[in-house]
Structure 1
Amino acid sequence: MSKGLKIVTIGGGSSYTPELIEGFIKYYKELPVSEIWLVDIEAGKEKLEIVGGLARRMVEKAGVPIDIHLTLDRKKALEGADYVTTQLRVGQLAARALDEKIPLKHGVIGQETNGPGGLFKAFRTIPVILDIAREMEEICPNAWLINFTNPAGMVTEAVLRHSNITKIVGLCNVPIGMERGVAELMKVEPDRVRIDFAGLNHMVYGLDVFVDGKSVKEEIIDMISDPDKAVTMKNIHAMGWEPEFLRALNLFPCPYHNYYYKTGDILAQELKDAENGETRAEVVQKLETELFELYKDVDLDIKPPQLEERGGAYYSDAAVRLIHSMYTDKRDIQAVNTMNYGAIEGIPYDSAVEVSCVITKDGPKPITVGELPVAVRGLVQQIKSFERVAIEAAVTGNYDTALLAMTINPLVPSDRVGKLILDEMLLAHKEFLPQFFRNKELQGSFHD
């Protein structure tokens, strides 16, 4: 092979980066990466240098010829890229804290990718991702964009609708986390588990669950009604499920379904956590501080196990596995965010869905599932409506559209409460929402 692959990671100063580096080292023999460019902005320069130092030590320890480049010049990094991964957080953890705390003041769940918090993360993130997409169109039009910036489904759909980039795959750690959770419950290796996924990002269901090709869905449904056996994530409280509800649903819910099926319980827990100074953003800020102190250690040359406490475990595993499968045309099955193409009936053909796909050198090929079960179809369609309207608001900066998106989200109880939250959050995040503040008359409608 004449040249190795060039990987560009935007948001390279993220605490997740060591996991990404570990993945490329692990797959090196079949995925010949020669360059990894870690890109960040001026505000993330110190973290970029700390993470970059650890990345170089990891590569050196592994004895693989991968050059690690650190830069704040995104356009320079994109030149000649084969794969571009995005893992950025506009406004960093301080913005996440506001996304969680402001809705709670109004009696609404505060969460970074669901409800008002997810809406505002989309408002801040989508314009930045679209800027990156435009740069890719010009500088590296043949590169694949692998996005695991949240909200991953909305970001993927925004790129499909508002750029000329078609080579994009959105990625989430929820499906791989659910498969690993099943493996733990069944006491088998993860590669023996397969789940048939369908739905949307953070609104995905396991239609069936297999171990060694045999369905174990009923057994898993029985097991996860026990809170001690719940398949969840570091950032979501495990509460268990009513066994009668799960049996009737006859699907394997993802951890984020707690927000929709246990709204009152989750809200009560979040309010209690907030009183104790333990919102998820505050917990993560402490974890991040500890992680970066670890990363500074010049003797550290592996991914520290503490990273799995961060909540995004397996993101990078999923990303490297996906790139490996695309590069080798492996044609294995993975759940990703991609254009529907009719795979899920009742969701627009050209909308992004999260669904099991065959992964090929030409990208993911969605596996047709037909209509979702009637019990969940309406909720999934409501969230897709919310996503579509939210993307329009993020791109146009239209206040009325933003309020519509806020209000049709099932976690927001009314247009009045939605408006109170919208107004407060717009002002709190003003620095990162220029699209909403260009029109002086519009600004006046909620600024006074």
Structure 2
Amino acid sequence: MSHGTPKIAFIGAGSVVFTQGLLTDLLAFPELRGAHIALHDIDDERLKTAEGAARHIADRLTGPDSGDDGGAQPRITAHAERRAALEGADFVINIVQVGMREATRTDFEIPARYGVRQTIGDTLGVGGIFRALRTFPHLAALGADIAEVCPDAWLLNYTNPMAMNVQYLTRATGLTRVVGLCHSVYWTVRDLADLLGVPYEEITYRAAGVNHQAWLLRLEHRGVNLYPRLDRLVADQPQLRRRVRVDMYRRLGYYPTETSEHSSEYVPWYLGHESEVERLRLPVGAYLDIVDENVATYERTRDALAAGTPLTVEGTMEYAPQIIHSITTGTPRTVYGNVPNHGLVDNLPASGTVEVPCLVDGLGVQPTAVGALPAQCAALNRTYLSMNELVVRAALEDDPRSVRQAAMTDPATAAALPVERIWDLCDDMVRAHGDLLQPSLRVLLGN
């Protein structure tokens, strides 16, 4: 890789809104303005829209009217064939959503018929299990292509379920330069800074755990612990106590790094109880509205490009552009990454994927060992990782029983259904997702 001119492949670039945000962040770095941006998607219309959006962003940020001093412009190419996009890539950003809106609706509608409530459905639970199982075949093929055509590339994964996907990728493909990226730690601290009235730039923090269920182990302002200040706010504001993550914080002693909607799905205490759904204002099925809005935003972007009036895009503060900048230029910074637990968190399984601080510089992404988590936090994380292990094992060992055992292990599903109904539900999900699953997992087992 020549200095400042990496090749960055976007796999699933038809997720146009996310692609635009990442590109805006990337091209905000002067050193990356000469990069080769290779876009790939299997949907021709979405790929053309992504290419048009990318060229608009490049012109706005690096063109003659950008206010820049005539610096480099990126090379943008679009590829219907994945290997062409990957050829010689230094970084691969995976943002694929297998099955798109139709599959996501299935993930919600079939469990709902059984009385299983979900809010987001992309990480654990029945939705998370089947989102993973339909994503794994794509990851296996992507990993094989990377091993052949760009073996030294860093694979930066944004596709959920994050922890399961990273675990599968590293186990099934043998790739070692794999990092899962999520903005939940960053935005949790930003939101707490606003809540506490402290400038984010003056806060120091340390978090660790698993994706969407990590914990703020330290939260300080100029060396002073901010937790007592947060405790006073929670005590004084009853509305704050009507949030799942605040409820969990009060009982566990450490603030979780994901929204209340997400957090409610990973434990057995909330969604199965009508009174808790009401008390904590949980929006059951909320993700379907988000999916619909994402489609509408994509269509507005497509139509605006066609009309020659592209929409303004703001930066997203995502980690992938920061990682690419640090590795390319040697600039050190800390990000939060999802990586295999090779001696990083003492009291979580070594086979699992953990979310920890990572140093990034010219040597790559270097995870930080954090020792042991507080026992109560590790206990919840271990249940989460146990379910992940069963889903990954189902795919690696072609074992459809492990799919059902994963659902039995999932806290929210187990709290909602007797075991016979869990197996029936899995059979219905297998029928519905059909050809998106690997053939060995299309088996119906009944009770």
Cα 1:94–1:378 change in 2 (3 A) is same
Residue 422 (structure 1) aligned with residue 426 (structure 2) = yes
Count of matched residue pairs = 421
Question: Residue in 2 aligned with 1:80?
Answer: 88
Aligned partner of 2:339: which letter?
T
- Alignment deviations for residues 56-82 of structure 1 (CA, whole Å, 9 cap, x no partner): 111011125012211111001111100
Question: Residue in 2 aligned with 1:434?
Answer: 438
1:232-247 aligned at under 5 Å gives the runs 238=243, 241-242=246-247, 246-247=249-250
Question: Residue 208 of structure 2 is aligned with which of 198, 201, 206?
Answer: 198
| Structure 2 CA distance for aligned equivalents of residues 204 and 156 of structure 1 | 16
| Structure 1 CA distance for aligned equivalents of residues 25 and 37 of structure 2 | 12
SS in 2 for 1:336: strand
Question: Residue 229 of structure 2 is aligned with which of 219, 224, 233?
Answer: 219
Question: Residue in 1 aligned with 2:380?
Answer: 379
Aligned partner of 1:429: which letter?
H
| Structure 2 CA distance for aligned equivalents of residues 175 and 84 of structure 1 | 22
- Alignment deviations for residues 246-273 of structure 1 (CA, whole Å, 9 cap, x no partner): 3452201132323325333588469996
Residue 362 (structure 1) aligned with residue 363 (structure 2) = yes
Q: Work out whether residues 227 and 238 of structure 1, in 8 Å CA contact, stay in contact via their aligned partners in 2.
A: no
Question: Residue in 2 aligned with 1:263?
Answer: 271
Alpha-carbon distance, 1:50 to partner:
1.6
Cα 1:318–1:300 change in 2 (3 A) is farther
Question: Residue 220 of structure 2 is aligned with which of 210, 229, 246?
Answer: 210
Residue 122 (structure 1) aligned with residue 170 (structure 2) = no
Q: Work out whether residues 427 and 444 of structure 2, in 8 Å CA contact, stay in contact via their aligned partners in 1.
A: no
Residue 46 (structure 1) aligned with residue 42 (structure 2) = no
Alpha-carbon distance, 1:216 to partner:
1.3
Q: Work out whether residues 228 and 240 of structure 1, in 8 Å CA contact, stay in contact via their aligned partners in 2.
A: no
Residue 58 (structure 1) aligned with residue 57 (structure 2) = yes
| Structure 2 CA distance for aligned equivalents of residues 264 and 71 of structure 1 | 46
| Structure 1 CA distance for aligned equivalents of residues 253 and 25 of structure 2 | 35
| Structure 1 CA distance for aligned equivalents of residues 282 and 213 of structure 2 | 25
Question: Residue in 2 aligned with 1:351?
Answer: 352
Question: Residue in 2 aligned with 1:284?
Answer: 291
Residue 399 (structure 1) aligned with residue 400 (structure 2) = yes
Alpha-carbon distance, 1:161 to partner:
1.2
Question: Residue in 2 aligned with 1:143?
Answer: 153
Alpha-carbon distance, 1:367 to partner:
2.5
Question: Residue in 2 aligned with 1:26?
Answer: 28
Question: Residue in 1 aligned with 2:105?
Answer: 97
Q: Work out whether residues 99 and 117 of structure 1, in 8 Å CA contact, stay in contact via their aligned partners in 2.
A: yes
Gaps of 5+ in 2: 63-71
Gaps of 5+ in 1: 231-236, 306-312
Cα 1:189–1:35 change in 2 (3 A) is farther
Aligned partner of 1:54: which letter?
A
Q: Which moved more, 1:293-302 or 1:204-213?
A: 293-302
Question: Residue 166 of structure 1 is aligned with which of 162, 176, 186?
Answer: 176
Question: Residue in 2 aligned with 1:308?
Answer: none
**Superposition TM-score, scaled by structure 2 size:** 0.86
**Superposition TM-score, scaled by structure 1 size:** 0.85
Q: Work out whether residues 54 and 300 of structure 1, in 8 Å CA contact, stay in contact via their aligned partners in 2.
A: no
Cα 1:273–1:373 change in 2 (3 A) is closer
Alpha-carbon distance, 1:158 to partner:
1.0
Aligned partner of 2:135: which letter?
T
- Alignment deviations for residues 227-284 of structure 1 (CA, whole Å, 9 cap, x no partner): 7668xxxxxx955634xx634522011323233253335884699967xxx6422442
Q: Work out whether residues 272 and 412 of structure 2, in 8 Å CA contact, stay in contact via their aligned partners in 1.
A: no
Cα 1:65–1:194 change in 2 (3 A) is same
Residue 253 (structure 1) aligned with residue 252 (structure 2) = no
